[in-house]
Structure 1
Amino acid sequence: MKYSELLEIWKETNLEFSEIILAQEMIETGRDPERVKENLRRLMNVILEESEKNIGKKFETLTGMTGDNGLKFYKHSPKMVSEFNHLATTVAISMGESNASMGRIVACPTAGSCGVVPGALYALKKTYNANEEDLLKSFIVGSGVGNVVANKATLSGAAGGCQAEIGTATAMASAILTYYFSKDPVKVGHAAALSFKSLMGLVCDPVGGFVEVPCVKRNGSAVNVAIICSEMALAGIESVIPFDEVVEAMYNVGKSLPESLRETGIGGIAGTKTAQQIVEKIKENWSKNT
């Protein structure tokens, strides 16, 4: 179902938007709405648990290209960003590094973009003392946005570039934030569209094919895109292009990207001289240890 169709149901019924999303899931898949809701509650609580456990932690990752960036940002006294942004960014980076060290994560929507939604949720919980039910409603709405993308386009970096992975995570996080503060599905659509448009065309270029560089720090940047796009939507700024059309555009852009820019570890940042040297050193170290 398109997002515009969900909006039409909401306008006609004025029901709680998260319940509309759950009902639509039942129509499409036959899954019991209450069971889906409780599954999403469980996933959300895992996200919050892992965020609390891992924020500012140092990790040992497979290649060593990352692992202490969350710690560095955690210890940093912000000069420009708010407490909210600082928390969200620290969690986003930390969860990305946890994933790179084989820690427990919720792929939301993918492993490579697993820090963006946790950053938004954790910052809401800690900064605004958000209760579980309000967070869950917002999380369901964010999940609904992700589901639209999954059904109408792709969540795969190999198929659509990083815009499909980190872009979708950013749209979801922005939707979560916007719904939490406004309960307005129209503004949610604008926030999600603005998020996607900000990251349109982003390539998937992991150095050596490992989900470490530039993936981890992209999570940190992306959660701030989600925050500012939500803030713009809350201020009444609208996306001229509707969310459904933005998703379609993202999909078309992704299909037009060359293979080298779709998770192959060949082009983009992965194709730089320094990246190639790093990969050679990793190979040398592994050969010595085997």
Structure 2
Amino acid sequence: MRFQSLQQLKELCESERVTMAELMITEQMHESAQPRAAIVKQMSDYYQVMKEAVHKGIHEPVKSRSGLTGGDAKRVHDYMSGGASSLDEAACRALAYALSVSEVNASMGRIIATPTAGSCGIIPGVFVSSQQRFGWSDEHMVNGLFTAGAIGYVIANSSFVSGAEGGCQAEVGSAIGMAAGALTELRGGSPEQALHAVGLALKNCLGLICDPVAGLVEIPCIVRNGFGAVTALAAADMALAGVRSVIPSDEVIGVMLQVGRAMPSQYRETAQGGLAQTPTGQKLAKQWSSPEGEQEG
């Protein structure tokens, strides 16, 4: 790729007068030696999988293999329909959709890792809910996925996106940043505004640990996807309103790397710390690891 930082990505977009999505498509064509149509078709197929996962968790509530989670997406969606939510409909829908995809993942359903399976609900939650709100075409959303991909490429190569390496800030945090930056561009924001959205989003996630109960991508992973989708919406709104990330987004990514390296191993997907080691967390882990628990699950 011709860019290794978000600043370089922004400067290329400005000098060539293209969006981040268009630049990423061009870079993908060069890297893969594939024609544009093939690259766009593949991303379009990914988006269809995302929409299917959103629909499944809402309209066909699924239960995880462990039996510990499932059905919360529909609960939130039904609650929203009753008009009692403190969030507006757009945010509540994004929340429900993100939960939906994460629950499909926990039930061994088909999802797209964006950038990981543990954070798979955030981008679909933000994208599908925004598409419904603004009436955007699938083609427009696919362009947004290329934008998210460009942002994720920088984060992955400058820091990490794995919870085992950097905690949940690396998984959920990266997905929030990708979704926030992409949504900013989808809504007509400039590359500079998109970068501010990424920085604002990531700053709010620094230090977030990865502490899966029983080692499963369920508790607290699923609800963090729901909260993450709402955070991405807020970061995009702040950037579009003119709020700036005083610390440049590339520097925020650098801090995420430093924090992740300093994070004790028990807070990096080992299920040896945090919520996983609470009395209830340990009880659930023992239940799941027992033959009876596995059979029930």
Instruction: Identify the TM-score tier after normalising by the shorter chain.
Output: over 0.9
Match of 1:52 in 2: 55
Residue 127 of structure 2 is aligned to residue 121 of structure 1: yes
1:66 equivalent among 47, 69, 73: 69
SS of residue in 1 equivalent to 2:46: helix
1:32 equivalent among 28, 31, 34: 34
Given that 1:205 and 1:270 are in contact with CA atoms closer than 8 Å, whether structure 2 keeps it comes out as: yes
Once the two structures are TM-superposed, the CA of residue 17 in structure 1 deviates from its matched residue by 2.7
Once the two structures are TM-superposed, the CA of residue 56 in structure 1 deviates from its matched residue by 4.9
- Cα pair distance change 1:226/1:207, threshold 3 Å: same
Residue 18 of structure 2 is aligned to residue 15 of structure 1: yes
Question: Normalization by structure 2: what TM-score?
Answer: 0.92
1:259 equivalent among 242, 262, 265: 265
* Distance of 1:57 and 1:257 partners within structure 2: 38
1:233 equivalent among 221, 239, 260: 239
Question: Which amino acid in structure 2 is aligned with residue 32 of structure 1?
Answer: Q
> Quick one: percent identity of the two aligned structures?
34
1:166 equivalent among 172, 178, 181: 172
Match of 1:150 in 2: 156
Point out the more displaced range, 100-109 or 135-144.
135-144
Question: Which amino acid in structure 1 is aligned with residue 278 of structure 2?
Answer: T
* Distance of 1:203 and 1:26 partners within structure 2: 36
Listed as ranges, the matches of 1:66-215 within 5 Å are: 66-76=69-79, 77=82, 78-215=84-221
Point out the more displaced range, 76-85 or 142-151.
76-85
1:229-286 Cα shifts (integer Å, max 9, x gaps)? 1110010000011111111110111111011000000101111111111111222354
Question: Which amino acid in structure 2 is aligned with residue 243 of structure 1?
Answer: S
* Distance of 1:167 and 1:288 partners within structure 2: 31
Question: Normalization by structure 1: what TM-score?
Answer: 0.94
Once the two structures are TM-superposed, the CA of residue 179 in structure 1 deviates from its matched residue by 0.9
Match of 2:225 in 1: 219
- Cα pair distance change 1:287/1:58, threshold 3 Å: closer
- Cα pair distance change 1:278/1:134, threshold 3 Å: same
The CA RMSD measured in Å over matched residues stands at 1.7
Question: Which amino acid in structure 2 is aligned with residue 179 of structure 1?
Answer: E
Once the two structures are TM-superposed, the CA of residue 6 in structure 1 deviates from its matched residue by 1.2
1:77-131 Cα shifts (integer Å, max 9, x gaps)? 3431111111111111111111000001001111011100010111112111111
1:145-170 Cα shifts (integer Å, max 9, x gaps)? 11111111111000010000000110
* Distance of 2:269 and 2:257 partners within structure 1: 16
- Cα pair distance change 1:250/1:50, threshold 3 Å: same
* Distance of 2:89 and 2:252 partners within structure 1: 31
SS of residue in 2 equivalent to 1:55: helix
Where in structure 2 are there 5+ consecutive unaligned residues?
none
Aligned length: 289
- Cα pair distance change 1:228/1:170, threshold 3 Å: same
* Distance of 1:288 and 1:53 partners within structure 2: 24
* Distance of 2:267 and 2:106 partners within structure 1: 21
* Distance of 1:122 and 1:280 partners within structure 2: 37
* Distance of 1:127 and 1:58 partners within structure 2: 23
Once the two structures are TM-superposed, the CA of residue 26 in structure 1 deviates from its matched residue by 4.4
Question: Which amino acid in structure 2 is aligned with residue 137 of structure 1?
Answer: N
* Distance of 1:6 and 1:283 partners within structure 2: 47
Question: Which amino acid in structure 1 is aligned with residue 92 of structure 2?
Answer: H
- Cα pair distance change 1:83/1:286, threshold 3 Å: same
* Distance of 1:37 and 1:150 partners within structure 2: 22
Given that 2:212 and 2:220 are in contact with CA atoms closer than 8 Å, whether structure 1 keeps it comes out as: yes
SS of residue in 2 equivalent to 1:15: coil
Where in structure 1 are there 5+ consecutive unaligned residues?
none
